Amino acid sequence: MQTATIAQQIRSFIQESFLFGQTDNLRDGDSFLESGIIDSTGILQLMAFLQDTYGVRVEDEEAIPDNLDSIDRIVVYLRRKSDSAEGGAGSGRI
């Protein structure tokens, strides 16, 4: 799947789930936590979305800002998970 497509799907989820449809000029590099878009409960919703949509298991130790705090970081994280899954028994959905 193309990076732009993944980013758009994540953006749509964030807008619908946390911004209630408002675009609010959300940029791909904006921190969800710093901007107050997502709190700790929202991170759990985001993790569930990523697992359901992309078939990746987000391990507890991976639920850190470096992986999940912006659209850009999530795309990189998903690519990294996809690359490691291709070497193993992953689903390869990304």
Query: Which residue, among 69, 16, 78, 76, has the nearest Cα to 38 in the 3D structure?
Result: 69
- Report if residue 28 sits inside a domain: yes
pLDDT band at 85 (very low <50, low <70, confident <90, very high): confident
* Average pLDDT of span 50-68: 95
Domain of 60, in residue numbers: 3-85
In contact, 14 and 32? CB cutoff 8 Å:
yes
pLDDT at position 83 over 70: yes
The per-residue pLDDT of the chain, averaged, comes to 89
pTM comes to: 0.86
pLDDT at position 91 over 50: no
**Amino acid occupying residue 59:** E
CA–CA dist 27, 60 (Å, integer): 26
Domain count, the chain: 1
- Report if residue 22 sits inside a domain: yes
- Looking up residue 63, the CATH number of its domain turns out to be 1.10.1200.10
Return the minimum-mean-pLDDT range out of 20-24, 31-35, 78-82: 20-24
